[in-house]
Amino acid sequence: MFRTISLAALIVALLLPPLSAQEDENGADEAKKIQQEIQKHFSEVAKTIDKLAKQLKETEPENAAKLESAWNAIQEKFIDQQMKEVVEDLNAGRYNTARNKADKIRNELDDVLKILIHGSKNERTTGDLAALKREIGERIREQEQLQKELNDAMNKVTPTLDKLEQQIRKAELDQEKLAKETSRIPDAAMEKRLRELSDDLKKAAANEQDQNLPQKTEQLAKKAEEMFEKLHESGEKLAHDFRAPKQDIENAKADLQKENTPESRQAAAEDMKQAAKKIDEMLREADKEKKELPQQAKEQESLKKELEKIDKALEELAKQPANKETAPKIDEARKELQSARQEMQKAQQQMPTNPPQANQAQQKAQEDLQQAQEALQQAREQALEKLPPQQKKALEELKKKQEELAKKTEQTAAKIPSEQSKENAQKASDAMKQAAKDIPQEPEAAKEEQAKAIEELKKALQDIEDKETELALDTMEAKLAWMIEEQKAVFEATIKLDKRKKDMGQLLRSEKFEVKDAVAKEGKLTERAGQLQSTAGEIGAQTFVFFLGVISSDTKTVSDMLEKEELGEQTQRIESDVVSLLEALLSSVKKAKEEMKKEELAKKEEKKPEEEGKKPEDQEKKPGDKPKEEIITAEAEIQLLIELQKQIRHRTEEIAVKNANKPELEQVYHEMAKNLARRQGELGDRIQDVISRVGQE
């Protein structure tokens, strides 16, 4: 902090004295000396700001952010260059121009001073997010460490029991999956009735002019109600799927109960068409599941064999003297496993001919597995009650650590500005509190709560990373727009100066200063492209990193050419290409921002089923499941690659034309051709990357 304040004080000291009464010779000479000293010291201060910003990035991120913002402001406003121009104006006797420029620099130095003291809004936000990312990352690591410590502790207490309970839990989940797959298949009689109902609905809908349509619709509604009751008996999933077409039929009945008019019959006919369509979709899904039945039968057999292995392991465990107290509960779990295996055998036998009966057996097997888990949990609780004092103490210490981490996480949540991230972090803290309560008596439940806490923290971290990306894109958008305007200004100046040089044979002294100004601007553009490369790299936008590298290379080439007063077509071509590529890049940044907004809306939509009370399995994806991808779409990158390929082709053609009748390339063109060949190779690599991305999508 002291160093930042010291730099601010230096800026105050460097604020330019007003150039009001310096037109006399002695005053002018004195002003020149003062101005030269100020310019010299300011250059040193600017370098110090840049150096300190890099040094303090890890140890003092907040101060580093202020320094970096101040450095960016100095670069954007070309303050150093403007000071040199004031000296040049004074040397040339342009006192009014020097005074105006000096006043402008004073205002801009005042802006830099404010940034050094308070920091820029954007950089403060970025710094805050970076600090939050580090803090949440630390909470995740701490929770993972506690999770490991609890696992290690439990492995010393009831290692085999825990392992077998986990295996039964996995078997239960596998059985649940198999039961879901068979739950959509009706038996042969019900399938026939569904097809008949669909046909009857289609016929009724096709005769909407029939005056007896109300009576027929009422009969169909009654039939659908009876079938719904039957489906509910045979399988919950089938009844759930049938609910939608049943509602359509009831709507048709309601349409015709109000009035029997052409309009009401038309509405009823449309409802019945929809019902028939949904029933047909049910039957198509059932046909698909039927084809999978042989494979499901194999999976059921494999699961049954897995239970046999678990049963044998439990039998051996119950015989051990150390498990005398828990043996009755272990035997109880074995009985449930044996019952589950019998139900699985029934399911296998029923699958080919009666899937609903098979499904009922599968559901019963799942219930048996749940009972087996409960018995083992009780056995473990008994074992925990008999723990030696040393092991009980270890669990109590873990409980305290978990409580402390819950408090720290709650404090972290309070710092988060985003409502979504705050909510996730608070949920993590709540899960940690519950884990702390569960550790002494229900360590398995504690493990689940710990896993929930980690998941919620990762969601919070992802949300903050998204916010960081949004900020970075905002910064890139603003700076790219600035770069476009600067490059256009240099391009226009180059055209004007080139014409002047051709007309007059050489440039005037004042025009040479304009060339120097253009060189300085290209240098700043090269620096800015490098800065934006770093920004893009921090958010994983490798596409932007690549194209900003191309721009940086081109602006450096332009700067070198202008330095030699090469103002002709070749220089202008590269300047024009830089503008085109910057504009294409700016367009891609804007599209990336739009895509992020769409994804944010999609995430909000994903949350709705959860808020409406639906189970997590009703959602196709949990929030945060999506892996991190390149920030722009493959389509957007292809547009950038096309633009770059055009530029390479045009420049190659120009070199060929310029050297058409020469035995070998001139040195300057030889270097250009070499650089273009390298760039073409890099372009090929990017194309391969895009092809790979498209293949993965």
Q: What is the end-to-end Cα distance of the chain in Å, rounded?
A: 48
Whether residue 179 sits in one domain with residue 41:
no
Query: Do 81 and 32 reside in the same domain of the chain?
Result: yes
Q: Which of 369, 386, 403 represents a domain boundary (last residue)?
A: 386
Q: Residue 432: inside a domain, yes or no?
A: yes
User: Is residue 144 included in any domain, yes or no?
Assistant: no
Structure confidence at residue 4 (pLDDT):
47
Which residues does 567 contact at the CB level (< 8 Å), separation at least 6?
A: 494, 497, 498, 501, 515
Task: Specify the pLDDT at position 397.
Answer: 92
pLDDT at position 693 is 58
Contacts 24+ apart (CB under 8 A), 257-262: 257/214, 260/211, 260/213, 260/214, 262/208, 262/209
| 224: amino acid identity, one letter | A
Listed as ranges, residues in the chain with pLDDT below 50 are 1-25, 121-124, 611-628
Question: Which of 444, 168, 178 shows the shortest CA–CA distance to 310?
Answer: 168
In terms of Cβ atoms closer than 10 Å to its own Cβ (0-12, 13-18, 19+), residue 583 is middle
The tally of domains found in the chain comes to 3
Tell me the residue length of the chain. 697
Q: What are the distances in angstroms from CA 541 to CA 236, 552, 588, 600?
A: 48, 16, 11, 18
Residues 418 and 441 sit within 8 Å (Cβ to Cβ) = no
What CA dihedral angle connects 385, 389, 393 and 394, to 10 degrees?
A: -80
Same domain, residue pair 297 and 403: no
Same domain, 427 and 335: no
> What's the pLDDT score for residue 44?
64
For position 379, what pLDDT does the model report? 85
CA 319, 324, 330, 335 dihedral sign is positive
Task: Report DSSP state, residue 322.
Answer: G
Residue at a domain's end among 386, 420, 450: 386
**Cβ atoms within 10 A of the Cβ of 632, count?**
20
**Which one of 386, 415, 444 terminates a domain?**
386
Query: If you compute the radius of gyration of the chain from its CA atoms, what whole number of angstroms results?
Result: 38
Backbone angles phi, psi at 416, to 5 degrees: -80, 125
Q: What is the pTM of this model?
A: 0.55
531 part of a folded domain:
no
pLDDT at 382: 81
Whether 59 maps to a domain, the answer reads yes
pLDDT one-digit tens code per residue, 38-64: 666 566 666 666 666 666 665 666 566
Domain that holds residue 36: 1-119
Residue 336 and residue 427 in one domain: no
Q: Are residues 276 and 359 in the same domain?
A: yes
Give every CB contact of residue 359 below 8 A, 6+ residues apart in sequence.
179, 182, 183, 185, 234, 235, 347
Residue 321 forms part of a structural domain: yes
Residue 312 lies in a domain: yes
pLDDT given for residue 9 in this prediction:
45
CA distance 286 to 476: 52
Q: Could you tell me if residue 656 is inside a domain?
A: no
Q: What CA–CA distance (Å, rounded) separates 281 from 285?
A: 6
- SS3 of 618-646: the string is HCCCCCCCCCCCCCCCHHHHHHHHHHHHH
Residue 97, domain CATH: 1.20.120
197 and 251 in a single domain? The answer is: yes
Does the residue 24 lie in any domain? yes
Supply the pLDDT for residue 142: 94
The verdict on 258 and 359 lying in the same domain is yes
Contact 294, 178 (CB under 8 A): no
Instruction: Give the span between the Cα atoms of 160 and 157, in whole angstroms.
Output: 9
Distance CA 138, CA 378 (A): 35
- Own/partner contacts of 226-229, CB < 8 Å, gap of 24 or more, are 227/190, 227/193, 227/194, 227/197
- Same domain? For 298 and 181 the reply is yes
How confident is the model at residue 245, as a pLDDT? Answer: 92
533 touches 548 (CB < 8 A): yes
169 and 285 fall within a common domain: yes
Q: What pLDDT is attached to residue 606?
A: 64
User: Do residues 96 and 234 share a domain?
Assistant: no
Indicate if 197 and 94 belong to the same structural domain.
Answer: no
Residue 697 DSSP label: -
